[in-house]
A and B are shown apart, each in its own frame.
Chain A
Amino acid sequence: MKKLSLVLFLLVAGAASIFAQRTVTGKVADAKGEGLIGASILAKGSTRGTVTDIDGAFSLSVPENTQILVISYTGFKTQEVTLGASNALDVTMESDAIGLDETVVIGYGTQSNRNRISSISTVNPETIHNNPLLGPQQLLQGTASGVQMTNTSGVLGSAAAIRIRGVSSINAGGNPLFVVDGVPLNDGSSGNLSNAAGGTALNPLADINPNDIESMTVLKDAGASAIYGSRAANGVVLITTKKGKAGSNRVNLEYYTGFSKPTYTLDMMNADEYRGFVKAFNNQDAPATSFNWPKAVLQTGRISSYTVNMSGGTDKTQYYLSGSYLDQSNYAIGNTFKRYNGRLNLKHQVSNKLRFNTNIGLSRIDNDRIGADNNTAASLTSAYLQVPTQPAFDDAGNFLNTGFIQNVLAIEKLGIFRLLTTRVTANTSLSYDILPGLTAKTDWGVDLLQTEETSRTPNIVTTGGSAFNNIRADNKWLTTNTLNYSKQFGDFAVDAIGGMSFEYSLFSFTSVAGSGFAADALRNVSSAATPTSTQANRTAWGLYSQFVRPTFRFKDRYIIEGSLRRDGSSRFGKEFRYGTFWSVNGGWILSEEGFLKNSTFINNLKLTASYGTTGNDRIGNFPSQGLYGSGVAFDYSGLPGLGPTQPANPKLRWEQTAQADIGIQFSILKSRISVEANVWQKKTSNLLLAFQLPDVNGFSSITRNAGNMENKGVDILINTVNIKTRDFQWKSTISLSKYVNKVTNLPGASKDVDGNPFIAGTGVQRAIVGYAVNTFYLVRYKGINPATGNAEWLSKDGTTPVTTINPADRVIVGSAIPDYYGSFTNTISFKGFDLSAMLYFTKGNKVFLGDLNFTENPISGFNKSARLLNYWTENNKENAVVPSPTSSTRSIFASNSTNQLLDGSFMRLRNVSLSYTLRAKQVGVKWFDSIRLYVMATNLWTQRAKGWAGRGQDPEIADAGNSNVQQGQSFFTAPQAKMIQMGVNVGF
């Protein structure tokens, strides 16, 4: 009875206390006593909170029974301050070099870095601050261990090839899933978003203003990514945009400008050299005219960017509002990129228990394209291949028709090739605290993406002119509904999230084309005399999922976490539509144990392990059905037709990747050195394969689940604070990653002459059992025989030189996967100056330059590399690199062999930046808060491997970004840009 009274009393007192309030005021400052703007103050156990103003001051009304305030600020250790009797509170924050108490974004939630036991990489605001902000994908190179980011091309707006922990699939796509504020992005899995030829896909992240990004999180192990189930085998990248903080309104203006040049260009023959060469090899008399095509298309690229953002709010409503404009022109004519962005992120607390949150991102991109790399209308490719005796203009200064290699100067001046992209990525959520610790949330989002591609070829290039107009829309909506439970029971804490989501994406394509125009000035297809194409297609996919992730912590040092997701996808046949993915991970924070807790040497020590499964569904929308297609490809003489397009495979199911991960995180010497290292292994089974068929079957391939593949590797990230004084700080980051990829089984696949089953990716690359997924399989080139002037290759046994390229002599000669890659970053701060430099390197990967099939073909009709001038003659026997003009091998010299295979290793100064920040306090004015002036350089220095000079351009190459079996191949891949930017950022 007594007990019951006590309970009743406590309940009543507890209820009464909800209504009693007190107001705490104070200041949050760093060790130097300088006020910290925007530090967050939260009453522990409630949702009450605020942030500090410009001077670091705050005022927070809290329930009377509040005992602890939690104060956090990026870059500083989170503090819990016990409230005493006083309502005044000044807090000094301690710098946190390793971000132990940062909150990190994870799938469907956030987590304290301290309690994190899954393997993730985060790109934090500081890194974002110090990078040339061209596109979000740039932030992933070198900054995140285990993440291999390769720019596919120097063409503006092209995508990057991003591989997280190796290659988890053969045919089902290799790029990770991108999620922006909880909305998984459309990434072209239903269809291409542009017609542009070449391997260069459009960048799914191009629409995001990097300035709006608060953080990027890369989910690497199954423990982190299994919650995304069927789409997570390639890893997941979570992008979180900036949110407003309560306090005074802040305005930030940023402007930068810069210019660019290609890192490397090719050295082609000039007109005199060309005339001499074709006379020697083909006995042709080329015309006496000359024109320097590469010089005519190269220029200095320009870039300018303008950004303004405002943020602030009250303790109930916070906002972040931004707008930006980026204007970029490339180093070769005909390629510009203009991006307009707007964003509104808004949070509002309706009541103590009910909140809503909305993120709205709008963008428009105006991209002037001139054909991508693998297209003779691409300005630089065309300029290299156009014969130098071909003039661009007649004597009167009019453009000439230059035949098959079109006159790019005319195309650029008179033609149109534009891609307009409009995108809305938005979501709104409503959260309600049902009980203390139990929150329900419903989130509704869209990713509405539309591209409009307009091409208009002028009369001089195509008689009468031609045009097409393509409109594509990839519109997705989704809903995510979750219950979140978080509760502490003494030493035992539990966090759990469970929920469902449904996603539906509809892709549509509308295209018209026509030819025969009265004048070049008539831009649109409706002016064409002859309509040549009318198309309108749609395709859709849906994904219905349920998921749950419980986390248990005991004494804040033993943590176990599990996740489970069941996905149902429209992409698979009825019986195999559902897949279940799961993970279990555990962690032990040793530094919380008694024997280490007071160690001055070890500040943090954590061991983690995880195992789980994820899937991959990127195989198009209806791969399991046997189909007959319709439309222009099948009609005949005005009669509607149907034709076979795909054989059925009703048993098609998920490709599944099981991943194990063991990790250690520690920091020592007052956190001056912190290390995170993970060893991992991924085993992919039921590989989704475009199983190749002999063409006699009428189909080149059928999609099947067959085979296994394995990746294993190590990711290491080391952060050090080398020197730290009041005014001077020097920090270093080393990121190093290594992985080995091996195809372990391909049942039913064709076998090569050595008996190894394989799947051919391209004419030069294969996935071979026992070797990497993108193994180069080529005849070895030996060189020019000084005695005969013939080019020679090696027979299969490697001993006999032969003068033919016999496919039976092909051998395994390396792969596109590097032995290791990584980065070394140094940041030095002195008073207001910051100097930062990142070296990026990759070692041991092979690159196949398909351009050499053309530039080094002695008898082609194109211009040739100046290297060919060093051909064999009686007077030039020993040093010749090209067969003699009469050798029978001259016509096959440039055919595929290791002659075009180069060492793709390189090291480059990815970026270097110098900035100076002036704080208003230093000059005693109030009209602004801070001014930052900076200069940054990208790719200022690059060291290529031997053999590139005179043959290749930039070594960073990924011609077919998303394809795993076609990595490290180039076909006139536009080189990366060398860029210098200067900027100013003013905060008010």
Chain B
Amino acid sequence: MKSYFKYLLLPAFLLGTVACDKDITLSPEQSLTVEAAFANKATAQASLFGVYSATQVLEIFGGLTLILNEYMADNVEFVGSFPTLQEIRNYATLSNNTNVQGLWQQHYVAIMAANVVISRVPGVPDASYSDAEKRQAVAEAKFLRAITYFNLVNLFGQPFNLNGGTSLGVPLVLTPDILDGKDPLFPKRNTVAEVYAQIEKDLKEALPDLPRTYGSADQRRGRATKGAANGILCRLYLYKNDNTSAIARADSVLNYPSLYALASDFSFYDANSSEDVFTVQMTTTDNSRTGAGGLGGYMLPAARGGRGDCPYSASLLAAFDQTKDLRFTALTFKGTSALPAAATFTNKYKDGLTNSDNSPVQRVSEIVLNKAEALVKSTNTINADAITLLNRIRTRAGLAARTAADFADSAALLTAILNERRLELCFEGHRRLDLLRNGFALRTTGTTAALSKPGDVRVVLPIPQREIDLGSSLPQNTGY
């Protein structure tokens, strides 16, 4: 009997030895090949949404860009513990700063994702994917590429107005070479003007193919529309001091009051209302959180789930009428900072735990203030229309309206508009560029004030050392 046991050996041996090539032909289960990702309409559209998703990250619209633009200016204090952010705040940034490195990297990840959509969607072999749908997908990707470059060039290049954009900006990469199997790119830095021109080109090319609106509120505010493209163009022209164009683009937005209008009170944050021109959508499950940080994470104190890293600065507190201004009374609270010490925090972001607050890229208030500013600059007068626009913002904030008599000259009106802009858009990442592009230093008090004029070394970020180490053709910003 027991000698039959040996026959067990035979099938075991055979079973063991019949393994072959197919047993070691395996595929990933959570990923598609690049070809499969552009094989039909469904996957191509998903690849487009992947570009939106790429801009959600902490380093783009998830909070870091916005925070740096505030830290480098005068609206907030730095009380956090991270040396990398502190360096930037103190204009002591080194080129190996890991926040800067991450910021640079993630912007180009998003740009690459957009580049793939732009180059591959037109060739998707799916009869049910209409040309109009394909053109819209390409237009959305161009919009996203434009706003990502806009973010990036404003952080790494000196303001356009300093010298007409002749400073070095960032390399323009418009094709997904590595994913197409080509050699890696070692591009040179384009000038700020060249980058601005590409942004303008992308937005203009996108405009005809973008829809006016979408069916649901989250997509209406969170996906590319004609309004959003015009709104960004409006900001771009204002930054370039092309005020006539800025006014025209502002009107292209404001002429659709059913879509874009100032909200009646300040409950519009994270609400997808007509106040929003473009906001990046975040939810509790789909947000910027790649580790620590995020809008609520940075701005809210520990008691509300955040780090308490950036409370109001004394300068911003002094700028507000703390009893009358609804933007202060409705959007501010007291708490304990990371120091720890008593401090005043913004209430614009609510969720420090999961960072589910939508990121406000552009609001109607900004368009209104853009137009007011452009009107004064283009006419050099105490422009009545500008005052009307200014008063729309002030009235909503519970402040008294201004009249022409309040202003000695056009410069005084411009100052009032810029001050109003500060109060309206604080904690939304506008302050640094608003000062620099108008020729102002980022700070007026303290030891760092002397380092903060437009054109100074550390009012822009350094090209990450890794990038310079790997590609010698990339010159560092002077002084780093």
From known contacts A647-B179, A861-B339, infer whether A625 and B83 are also in contact, taking CB-CB under 8 Å.
Answer: no
Interfacial chain A residues near B83, Cβ < 8 Å: 853-854, 857, 859-860, 894
Q: Check if A539 is an interface residue, CB within 8 A of chain B.
A: yes
Whether B303 lies near A401 (C-beta < 8 A) is: yes
Interfacial chain B residues near A627, Cβ < 8 Å: 28, 31-34
Contacts of B303-353 to chain A: CB distance below 8 A: 303-305, 307-309, 336, 338-340, 352-353
Whether A442 lies near B12 (C-beta < 8 A) is: yes
The contact sample of 14 A-B pairs, CB cut-off 8 A, is: A405-B81, A442-B16, A463-B304, A574-B25, A627-B28, A634-B53, A638-B286, A640-B46, A694-B186, A695-B105, A695-B466, A763-B465, A860-B86, A861-B339
Contacts of A885-917 to chain B: CB distance below 8 A: 891-892, 894-896
Of the listed stretches B125-133, B277-285, B407-415, B429-437, name the one at the interface; the rest are far from the partner chain.
Answer: B277-285
Q: Check if B71 is an interface residue, CB within 8 A of chain A.
A: no
A622 CA to B281 CA in the complex, in Å?
32
**A residues in contact (CB < 8 Å) with B:** 284, 287, 350-351, 353-354, 385, 390, 401-405, 430, 432, 440, 442, 444, 462-464, 466, 479-481, 500-502, 504, 515-516, 530-534, 537-544, 568-570, 574, 577, 621-622, 625-648, 692-700, 702, 750-752, 760, 763, 805, 807, 853-854, 857, 859-862, 891-892, 894-896
From known contacts A626-B34, A697-B173, infer whether A702 and B178 are also in contact, taking CB-CB under 8 Å.
Answer: yes
Q: Mark B228-242, 1 if CB is under 8 A from A, else 0.
A: 000000000000000
Whether B31 lies near A628 (C-beta < 8 A) is: yes
A860 CA to B177 CA in the complex, in Å?
42
From known contacts A530-B284, A638-B218, infer whether A515 and B354 are also in contact, taking CB-CB under 8 Å.
Answer: yes
Whether A636 lies near B53 (C-beta < 8 A) is: yes
Interfacial chain B residues near A763, Cβ < 8 Å: 96, 98, 465
Q: Check if B185 is an interface residue, CB within 8 A of chain A.
A: yes
Whether A462 lies near B305 (C-beta < 8 A) is: yes
Whether B3 lies near A637 (C-beta < 8 A) is: no
Whether B308 lies near A403 (C-beta < 8 A) is: yes
From known contacts A637-B219, A805-B94, infer whether A500 and B105 are also in contact, taking CB-CB under 8 Å.
Answer: no
Chain A nearest CB from B307 CB (Å) reads 5
Whether B222 lies near A463 (C-beta < 8 A) is: no
Interfacial chain A residues near B178, Cβ < 8 Å: 647, 693, 697-699, 702
Chain A: which residue is nearest B222 at the CB level? A637
Q: Check if B424 is an interface residue, CB within 8 A of chain A.
A: no
Point out the residue from A354, A531, A570, A861 that lies within 8 Å of B6, measured CB to CB. A354
With A694-B186, A892-B92 given, name 7 new contacts (CB 8 A): A402-B302, A404-B309, A515-B284, A631-B30, A695-B108, A699-B109, A891-B87
Point out the residue from B13, B37, B223 that lies within 8 Å of A481, measured CB to CB. B13
Chain A nearest CB from B326 CB (Å) reads 27
Q: Check if B54 is an interface residue, CB within 8 A of chain A.
A: yes
Chain A: which residue is nearest B19 at the CB level? A502
Point out the residue from A463, A531, A638, A646 that lies within 8 Å of B303, measured CB to CB. A463
Q: Mark B66-102, 1 if CB is under 8 A from A, else 0.
A: 0000000000000111110011001010111010000
Q: Mark B440-476, 1 if CB is under 8 A from A, else 0.
A: 0000000000000000000000001111111110100
Q: Check if B184 is an interface residue, CB within 8 A of chain A.
A: yes
Of the listed stretches B111-119, B158-166, B252-260, B370-378, name the one at the interface; the rest are far from the partner chain.
Answer: B111-119
Interfacial chain A residues near B19, Cβ < 8 Å: 500, 502, 544
Q: Check if B405 is an interface residue, CB within 8 A of chain A.
A: no
Interfacial chain B residues near A462, Cβ < 8 Å: 305, 353
Interfacial chain B residues near A637, Cβ < 8 Å: 49, 52, 218-219, 222-223, 281, 283, 286
A637 CA to B287 CA in the complex, in Å?
9
A385 CA to B24 CA in the complex, in Å?
49
A631 CA to B46 CA in the complex, in Å?
10
Chain B nearest CB from A159 CB (Å) reads 23
Q: Check if B211 is an interface residue, CB within 8 A of chain A.
A: no
Point out the residue from B9, B36, B109 that lies within 8 Å of A442, measured CB to CB. B9
Q: Check if B383 is an interface residue, CB within 8 A of chain A.
A: no
From known contacts A631-B30, A861-B79, infer whether A807 and B468 are also in contact, taking CB-CB under 8 Å.
Answer: yes
Chain A nearest CB from B199 CB (Å) reads 16
A695 CA to B187 CA in the complex, in Å?
11
Whether B338 lies near A750 (C-beta < 8 A) is: no
Q: Check if B21 is an interface residue, CB within 8 A of chain A.
A: yes
Most B Cβ at <10 Å: residue of A402, A403, A516, A570:
A403
A830 CA to B95 CA in the complex, in Å?
64
Whether B13 lies near A442 (C-beta < 8 A) is: yes
Interfacial chain A residues near B304, Cβ < 8 Å: 463
Whether A861 lies near B80 (C-beta < 8 A) is: yes
From known contacts A432-B6, A695-B105, infer whether A648 and B28 are also in contact, taking CB-CB under 8 Å.
Answer: no
Interfacial chain B residues near A621, Cβ < 8 Å: 26, 28
Whether B218 lies near A695 (C-beta < 8 A) is: no
Whether A698 lies near B474 (C-beta < 8 A) is: no
Chain A nearest CB from B52 CB (Å) reads 4
Point out the residue from B5, B46, B108 that lies within 8 Å of A696, measured CB to CB. B108
Chain B nearest CB from A590 CB (Å) reads 41
From known contacts A404-B307, A621-B26, A628-B36, infer whether A634 and B185 are also in contact, taking CB-CB under 8 Å.
Answer: no
Whether A760 lies near B286 (C-beta < 8 A) is: no
Contacts of B234-271 to chain A: CB distance below 8 A: none
Whether B218 lies near A642 (C-beta < 8 A) is: no
Whether A642 lies near B46 (C-beta < 8 A) is: yes
A636 CA to B474 CA in the complex, in Å?
34
Chain B: which residue is nearest A894 at the CB level? B83
Chain A nearest CB from B322 CB (Å) reads 24
From known contacts A463-B303, A621-B26, A639-B46, infer whether A628 and B32 are also in contact, taking CB-CB under 8 Å.
Answer: yes
Point out the residue from B6, B37, B96, B302 that lies within 8 Å of A628, measured CB to CB. B37
Whether A630 lies near B338 (C-beta < 8 A) is: no
Chain B: which residue is nearest A389 at the CB level? B340
Chain B: which residue is nearest A508 at the CB level? B29
Whether B6 lies near A750 (C-beta < 8 A) is: no
Interfacial chain A residues near B478, Cβ < 8 Å: none
Interfacial chain B residues near A432, Cβ < 8 Å: 6, 9
Chain A nearest CB from B90 CB (Å) reads 6
A896 CA to B94 CA in the complex, in Å?
10
Whether B30 lies near A635 (C-beta < 8 A) is: no
Whether B3 lies near A354 (C-beta < 8 A) is: yes
Contacts of B181-202 to chain A: CB distance below 8 A: 181, 184-187
Interfacial chain B residues near A440, Cβ < 8 Å: 9, 13
Whether B338 lies near A861 (C-beta < 8 A) is: yes
From known contacts A635-B49, A637-B52, A643-B50, infer whether A622 and B28 are also in contact, taking CB-CB under 8 Å.
Answer: yes
Chain A nearest CB from B140 CB (Å) reads 11
Whether A569 lies near B34 (C-beta < 8 A) is: no
Whether B470 lies near A530 (C-beta < 8 A) is: no
Whether B302 lies near A752 (C-beta < 8 A) is: no
Whether B13 lies near A697 (C-beta < 8 A) is: no
A648 CA to B179 CA in the complex, in Å?
7
Q: Check if B23 is an interface residue, CB within 8 A of chain A.
A: yes
Whether A760 lies near B469 (C-beta < 8 A) is: yes
Interfacial chain B residues near A351, Cβ < 8 Å: 2-3, 5-6
Whether B52 lies near A641 (C-beta < 8 A) is: yes
Chain B nearest CB from A351 CB (Å) reads 5
A628 CA to B23 CA in the complex, in Å?
24
Point out the residue from A354, A464, A630, A646 that lies within 8 Å of B5, measured CB to CB. A354
